[in-house]
Amino acid sequence: MIVVLTIAIVKFAGPCVFKKPPVDDTAKPVNAVQEKGKKAPDFIMTVDDVRRLVRENEISVNAAEQRAVVNTEVITRGRSWWGERDRDAGEDSLTLWLSVDTSLQKYAASMFRQYRPRYAAAAAIDPATGRVLALASYAAPGEPVDGSDLYLRGIFPAASVFKTVVAAAGIERGGMHANTAIQHYGRRHTLYKSQLKKDLKTSDDITLQDAFAYSVNPAFARIALFNVNKDIVTDYGRRFGFNDSIPFEFAADVSEMFSPDSDFSVAEFASGFNRKTSISPLFGALLAGAVCEGGVIREPTVVDSVWSSVRGACVYRRGTRIWRRAVKESTASELRGLMTKVTQYGTARKTFRPLRESRKYNMYEFGGKTGSVNKLGLGRVDWFVGFARHPNDRNKRIAVGVVTTHGDYWTVHSSYIAAELFKKYISNQSL
For the entire predicted model, the pTM comes to 0.88
Does residue 103 surpass a pLDDT of 80?
yes
215 in the Ramachandran plot: left (φ > 0), alpha (ψ -120 to 50) or beta? left
pLDDT reported for residue 315: 82
Residue 424 — very low, low, confident or very high, per pLDDT cuts 50/70/90?
A: very high
Q: Strand 397-406 to strand 379-389: parallel, antiparallel, or no bridges (unpaired)?
A: antiparallel
Q: In degrees rounded to 5, what are phi and psi of residue 133?
A: -100, -25
pLDDT digits (tens, 9 = 90+) for 135-176: 999 999 999 999 999 999 999 999 999 999 999 999 999 999
> What one-letter code names the amino acid at 96?
L
User: Which residues of the chain are in CATH 3.40.710.10 domains?
Assistant: 103-298+322-429
What are the Cα distances from residue 186, in Å, to 68, 217, 266?
55, 10, 19
Residue 260 has pLDDT above 60, yes or no: yes
Least confident window among 81-90, 153-162, 187-196, 221-230? 81-90
Q: What percent of the chain has pLDDT above 70?
A: 82
- Asked if the model's pLDDT at residue 184 lies above 90, the reply is yes
Instruction: Please tell me the predicted confidence (pLDDT) of residue 418.
Output: 98
Strand order in the sheet with 2-9: 69-75, 2-9, 92-98, 303-308, 313-317
- Element (DSSP H or E) covering residue 74: strand 69-75
User: Residue 141: how many CB atoms within 10 A of its CB?
Assistant: 6
Q: Is the pLDDT score of 63 beyond 50? A: no
pLDDT tens per residue, range 330-376? 999 999 999 999 999 999 999 999 999 999 999 999 999 999 999 99
Q: Under CATH, which architecture does the 103-298+322-429 domain have?
A: 3-Layer(aba) Sandwich (3.40)
Q: Provide CB contacts within 8 A for 299, sequence distance 6+.
A: 130, 247, 248, 321, 322, 323
- Contact indicator for 2, 75 with CB cutoff of 8 Å: yes
Determine how many CB atoms are found less than 10 A away from the CB of residue 111: 22
Q: What is the pLDDT of residue 102?
A: 87
Does the pLDDT value for residue 26 go beyond 60?
A: no
Q: How confident is the model at residue 401 (pLDDT cuts 50, 70, 90)?
A: very high
The answer to whether the beta carbons of residues 184 and 204 sit under 8 Å apart is: yes
CB 233 within 8 A of CB 204: no
Query: Is residue 165 a contact partner of residue 236, using CB atoms and an 8 Å limit?
Result: yes
More confident residue, 86 or 2: 86
Q: Which pLDDT score is estimated for 53?
A: 82
Which residues is 297 bridged to in the sheet?
Answer: 324
Q: List 156's β-bridge partners, or say none.
A: 279
Give the C-alpha separation, 124 to 122, whole Å: 7
Instruction: Give the residue-averaged pLDDT of 404-417.
Output: 96
C-alpha 333: how far from chain center: 18
Q: Could you tell me which residues are beta bridge partners of residue 127?
A: none
Region 200-204 average pLDDT: 87
User: Following DSSP, what letter does each residue of 369-418 receive, concatenated?
Assistant: EEEEEEETTTEEEEEEEEEEE-TT-TTSEEEEEEEEEESSS----HHHHH
Q: Residue 20's pLDDT is what?
A: 47
The rounded mean pLDDT for the chain is 85
Could you please report the per-residue DSSP string of 114-164?
A: HH--SEEEEEEE-TTT-BEEEEEEEE-TT-SS--SSGGG---EE-GGGGHH
- Residues near 60 by beta carbon (within 8 Å), at least 6 away in sequence: 148, 149, 250
How far apart CA 168 and CA 339 sit, in angstroms, is 12
- Residues linked to residue 138 through DSSP beta bridges, in sequence order: 120
**In this predicted structure, what is the pLDDT of residue 431?**
66
